[in-house]
Amino acid sequence: MNEIYEQCRDAGLIRSQREFSGMWGRAESWFSSTVSRQERRISTEALLSFYFSLADVQFSADSVNGQKQVAVIGKMREELWKEISSRVRH
């Protein structure tokens, strides 16, 4: 989870943990609470929310030619989709 946060921050997609929580469709304190409780499994609902948030951001990045952002988002969406599909299949 920290790795995903750092990737988003480094790519300029977010500036804070609060913004990151919002991308997951959660309350502003969600990320910091999740990290402090060391929760390992994120809900499928949260994964889907983040997946579609990234799609919206990717569309915006495409519009302003943010190539680094598009690459980071594409990779994250690919990994998220693998996890989501594996959960739905089982």
Q: Would the pLDDT of 7 be above 70?
A: yes
Cα distance between residue 65 and residue 90, in whole Å: 38
Torsion angle of alpha carbons 88, 28, 39, 52, nearest 10°? 20
At 32-59, the pLDDT tens digits run: 999 999 877 899 999 999 999 998 887 7
pLDDT above 70: percentage of residues in the chain: 93
Q: Would the pLDDT of 27 be above 90?
A: yes
Cα distance between residue 43 and residue 55, in whole Å: 19
Residue with tokens 């921050």: 9
Q: Would the pLDDT of 80 be above 70?
A: yes
Q: What's the total number of domains in the chain?
A: 1
> Is-contact 50 25, C-beta < 8 A?
yes
Residue with tokens 């889907």: 48
Cα distance between residue 25 and residue 66, in whole Å: 23
What's the domain range around 9?
Answer: 2-89
